[in-house]
Chains A and B, each alone.
Chain A
Amino acid sequence: MLVTLAEGADGRHPHTRLDDVSPVHGAAQAGHRRSDWPEVELHVVSGKGGTGKSTVAAGLALALASTGKNVLLCEVEGRQGISRMFDVEPLPYEERRIARGLPLGDVAPGSVYALHIDPESALLEYLSMYYKLGRAGRALDRFGIIDFATTIAPGVRDVLLTGKVYEAVQRNARNKDALAYDAVVLDAPPTGRITQFLNVNGELAGLAKVGPIKAQADTVMTLFRSPRTVVHLVTVLEEMPVQETVDGIAHLHEAHLPVGGVIVNMVRPRDLGPADLEAARTGTLDREAVTADLARAGVRVSHELVDSLLDEARDHADRRALEDSQREVVRALDVPSYELPRLPGGIDLGGLYELAARMREQGLA
């Protein structure tokens, strides 16, 4: 069932762990693995702060584009993270083509478009689209109502943001001028808030029991609860983020929202095998052999150097042990998981393409 391990260019660092990926969602094939989520139109990407959810969302958009899809990548938190990652001008409330997927095999790659959704623009667009409120819309602004609806009014902000995402997913021949996408990737709020964010009609309950806002929220929920949507959670292999992922999945289940995969980000390199790791932990790595090897490799050897390398190895082995124990927790979650390497140089456009390739190999896209 499993594919050959994806390996680094030198064939020695398997950064990704395909054996972690549940084979339930799609048969693996030699070469290009098929996506675990072929029917999904909306990929919601959430994760604890600091785990790199925006990076993963961007990488996923590129990965989907490399399978020939035209993808819309949306951000809703006003950070302009997409423009920084892709090194383009700050995004307006307008869909812009920002990148192309990497050509893989004989599939012509699709494009990635980006949209920065802010609640004010979403509200004005909504008003003009559904109520033809040109002048009244501006009057609303004069009375501070736009500001009220988008910042103070409970739940309305989220209805507006998710409503625009809904519109992009749902888009079809009805609107001739707008582009139709094969998939939408949403860089969503963090795990602690994701269920509340997506469960828009729950948030409105008690406030709007009837009325157009409520109707809008209900429609949006129908999409979010359908098999066309999945919510992926990004984590790193540390205790708090993994615990938050476990809790997040439980909350999504309670709200009947579809849980996708767990994406384990920033996994440490695997330059040492299990036996070496064990020796590093217990301080029994062969000091003389290391010294001899270093000399053979033309390095000027000193005690300080060997001490430092052995210390670094022990520190690394400790962290790997912690990663392994947290990986067990992720594995026990019974959802597909995917692993992405920590890139020592940080994230740039090249880094995003690299992550996209890893996602593709593992069947996330």
Chain B
Amino acid sequence: MTRSRPRVGPLAATAERAPRLDVDALLDDPGTGIIVCCGSGGVGKTTTSAALALRAAERGRKVVVLTIDPARRLAQSMGIETLDNTPRPVDGVGPGTLDAMMLDMKRTFDEVVLSQTTPEKARAILDNPFYIALSSSFSGTQEYMAMEKLGQIHRQAQAEGTYDLIVVDTPPSRSALDFLDAPERLSSFLDGRFIRLLLAPAKGPARLMTAGLGMVTNALTKILGAQVLRDMQTFVAAFDTLFGGFRQRAQRTFSLLQAPGTAFLVIAAPEPDALREASYFVERLTEDEMPLAGLVVNRASPAARTDLSAEEATAAADRLGRTSSESTTAGLLRLHADRVRIVEREAYLRERWATAHPGVETTVVPALATDVHDLVGLRRIGDLLAGGPAG
């Protein structure tokens, strides 16, 4: 197969085969009720979420953005010093509205427990050491609670008409898939044989399990210590009545994500690792019949405006270098060669990705020289997401 030399000019960023993602059409569609931004760490998920939410609000939507642990600067860029579990209005936005909030997973977990049972029972659970550890440090809790919070806000928005668009940022997981897996994992654990095993002593002999039971309990005691095992048993006994509720909620949020009003945006950078994660995610969304809106490739290197190739530029720089070692022009040529190589490599990676995932609408956002400090910066990212000029 011969590959023609890629065009390296003003059009290079949009020349690949992937159809273009129309971000404004997505934001303007009143049918879009939830946008979930997912992708591997360090690709600009949180900034993208905030920029999309702002743009939607300024196009007339009533928006809330749920972020996970944003950088301080990003919270400040929305004029909010500290984000917490309650949505706070962002000033200076119109004609729509924008609220921003940050997920507090422990508070969210506590609220679920409180809403599901009597105050005394809830207290017993909230004070249990095993629960405290589970609700504040289990890495999957964050994913589960992000889903939970999304469900809450959505129900509230439906009932009270507070929002017509929810933009969700996802936790910086080990793998982007954790976001989809965690609820299933938690509820299958709560449902599983292990729980029944822990409950067994409290519920009388479970004859079928006795064969393995003694051995397993012994092993657990050896490894974890008797105290931990007791804490876990107390926790599970107290939590028992809530399991059904948890399972139902997880199921409901999962269906909400599958509904046509939801749009998943996969965020990536033009790097092999980030694009590979994006592939996993796209495949998984398809498998789970979740609505994929498209791919956002952040931090693309801006193309040069001349089609002088890297090889020609390097050769010319070498020729100049022989005559004067301090040549400015040789430096310019080397810079150009460096840029062209990077742009070509990124374009190639995106092309390959588009070939493997035909039909996935894509928008490419060029890298900015500085971070976002204010709404102006977020607006600029919004413009770029919608395919506007780098400005």
Chain A residues packing against B (C-beta within 8 Å): 10, 12-13, 48-51, 77-79, 81, 127, 131, 133, 135-137, 139-140, 142-145, 147-148, 151-155, 157, 189-190, 192, 196, 203-204, 206-214, 238-241, 243-244, 269, 271-273, 276, 285-286, 289-290, 293-294, 296-299, 302, 304-305, 307-313, 315-316, 318-319, 322, 344-346
Q: Determine if A148 and B222 form an interchain contact, defined as CB atoms under 8 angstroms apart.
A: no
A315 vs B228: C-alpha distance when bound (angstroms): 58
B126 at the interface (CB under 8 A from A): no
Q: Determine if B189 and A148 form an interchain contact, defined as CB atoms under 8 angstroms apart.
A: yes
Choose from A211, A243, A297, A302 the contact partner of B329 (Cβ within 8 Å). A297
Choose from A13, A213, A309 the contact partner of B225 (Cβ within 8 Å). A213
Q: Determine if B41 and A50 form an interchain contact, defined as CB atoms under 8 angstroms apart.
A: yes
A312 vs B342: C-alpha distance when bound (angstroms): 13
Q: Determine if B332 and A313 form an interchain contact, defined as CB atoms under 8 angstroms apart.
A: yes
A293 vs B318: C-alpha distance when bound (angstroms): 12
A299 vs B369: C-alpha distance when bound (angstroms): 30
Q: Determine if A346 and B345 form an interchain contact, defined as CB atoms under 8 angstroms apart.
A: yes
Q: Determine if B328 and A289 form an interchain contact, defined as CB atoms under 8 angstroms apart.
A: yes
Would A145 and B40 be within 8 Å (CB), given that A50-B269, A211-B225 are in contact? no
Would A211 and B274 be within 8 Å (CB), given that A243-B73, A309-B306 are in contact? no
Looking at chain A's contact residues, the main secondary structure is helix
Q: How many A-B residue pairs have CB under 8 A?
A: 224
| Contact residues, B165-199 vs A (CB, 8 A) | 172, 174-175, 185-186, 189, 192-194, 197
The distance from the CB of B365 to the nearest CB of chain A, in whole angstroms, is 14
The distance from the CB of B198 to the nearest CB of chain A, in whole angstroms, is 10
A169 vs B306: C-alpha distance when bound (angstroms): 53
The distance from the CB of B184 to the nearest CB of chain A, in whole angstroms, is 11
Residues of B within 8 A of A153 (CB): 138
Would A243 and B335 be within 8 Å (CB), given that A190-B172, A238-B371, A322-B369 are in contact? no
Q: Determine if B137 and A196 form an interchain contact, defined as CB atoms under 8 angstroms apart.
A: yes
Find the residue from B218, B226, B369 having the highest chain A CB count within 10 A: B369
Q: Determine if B339 and A298 form an interchain contact, defined as CB atoms under 8 angstroms apart.
A: no
Q: Determine if B306 and A308 form an interchain contact, defined as CB atoms under 8 angstroms apart.
A: yes
Which listed segment binds A: B12-20, B128-136, B145-153? Answer: B128-136
Residues of A within 8 A of B42 (CB): 48-51, 190, 241
A318 vs B368: C-alpha distance when bound (angstroms): 10
The distance from the CB of A319 to the nearest CB of chain B, in whole angstroms, is 5
Residues of B within 8 A of A297 (CB): 316-317, 319-320, 329, 333
Q: Determine if A136 and B335 form an interchain contact, defined as CB atoms under 8 angstroms apart.
A: no
Q: Determine if A143 and B369 form an interchain contact, defined as CB atoms under 8 angstroms apart.
A: no
Residues of B within 8 A of A294 (CB): 316, 329, 333
Residues of B within 8 A of A207 (CB): 129-130, 132-133, 228, 231
B321 at the interface (CB under 8 A from A): yes
The distance from the CB of A239 to the nearest CB of chain B, in whole angstroms, is 4
Q: Determine if B319 and A211 form an interchain contact, defined as CB atoms under 8 angstroms apart.
A: no
The distance from the CB of B328 to the nearest CB of chain A, in whole angstroms, is 5
Choose from A50, A239, A269 the contact partner of B335 (Cβ within 8 Å). A269
Name A247's closest neighbour in chain B (CB-CB). B72
The distance from the CB of A143 to the nearest CB of chain B, in whole angstroms, is 5
Q: Determine if A312 and B186 form an interchain contact, defined as CB atoms under 8 angstroms apart.
A: no
Residues of B within 8 A of A212 (CB): 222-225
A131 vs B216: C-alpha distance when bound (angstroms): 13
Q: Determine if B302 and A315 form an interchain contact, defined as CB atoms under 8 angstroms apart.
A: yes
Residues of A within 8 A of B333 (CB): 294, 297, 309
Name B229's closest neighbour in chain A (CB-CB). A211
Q: Determine if B218 and A136 form an interchain contact, defined as CB atoms under 8 angstroms apart.
A: yes
Would A155 and B220 be within 8 Å (CB), given that A48-B42, A143-B194, A309-B336 are in contact? no
Find the residue from A48, A145, A154, A318 having the highest chain B CB count within 10 A: A154
Residues of B within 8 A of A305 (CB): 306, 308
Name B324's closest neighbour in chain A (CB-CB). A293
Residues of B within 8 A of A155 (CB): 133, 137
Q: Determine if A311 and B305 form an interchain contact, defined as CB atoms under 8 angstroms apart.
A: yes
Name A77's closest neighbour in chain B (CB-CB). B174
| Contact residues, B267-314 vs A (CB, 8 A) | 269, 271-274, 302, 304-306, 308, 312
Q: Determine if A203 and B189 form an interchain contact, defined as CB atoms under 8 angstroms apart.
A: no
B370 at the interface (CB under 8 A from A): yes
Residues of A within 8 A of B139 (CB): 157
The distance from the CB of B74 to the nearest CB of chain A, in whole angstroms, is 8
Residues of A within 8 A of B330 (CB): 271, 293
| Contact residues, B31-85 vs A (CB, 8 A) | 40-43, 69, 71-73
Q: Determine if B328 and A12 form an interchain contact, defined as CB atoms under 8 angstroms apart.
A: no
Residues of A within 8 A of B320 (CB): 293, 296-297
| Contact residues, B317-357 vs A (CB, 8 A) | 317, 319-321, 323, 325-336, 338-339, 341-342, 345
Choose from B136, B223, B332 the contact partner of A127 (Cβ within 8 Å). B223
Question: Which 9 residue pairs spanning A and B have beta carbons closest together?
Answer: A211-B225, A49-B41, A50-B42, A49-B42, A293-B329, A154-B133, A308-B306, A297-B316, A308-B305
Name A311's closest neighbour in chain B (CB-CB). B305
Q: Determine if A240 and B73 form an interchain contact, defined as CB atoms under 8 angstroms apart.
A: yes
Q: Determine if A145 and B305 form an interchain contact, defined as CB atoms under 8 angstroms apart.
A: no
Would A192 and B304 be within 8 Å (CB), given that A136-B216, A210-B227 are in contact? no
Q: Determine if A206 and B71 form an interchain contact, defined as CB atoms under 8 angstroms apart.
A: no
Name B312's closest neighbour in chain A (CB-CB). A299
B140 at the interface (CB under 8 A from A): yes
Contacts A49-B40, A294-B333 supplied; 18 other A-B pairs, CB < 8 Å: A48-B41, A48-B42, A49-B43, A50-B271, A51-B42, A79-B273, A133-B219, A139-B216, A154-B136, A210-B225, A211-B228, A285-B328, A290-B332, A298-B316, A298-B319, A309-B335, A322-B369, A345-B341
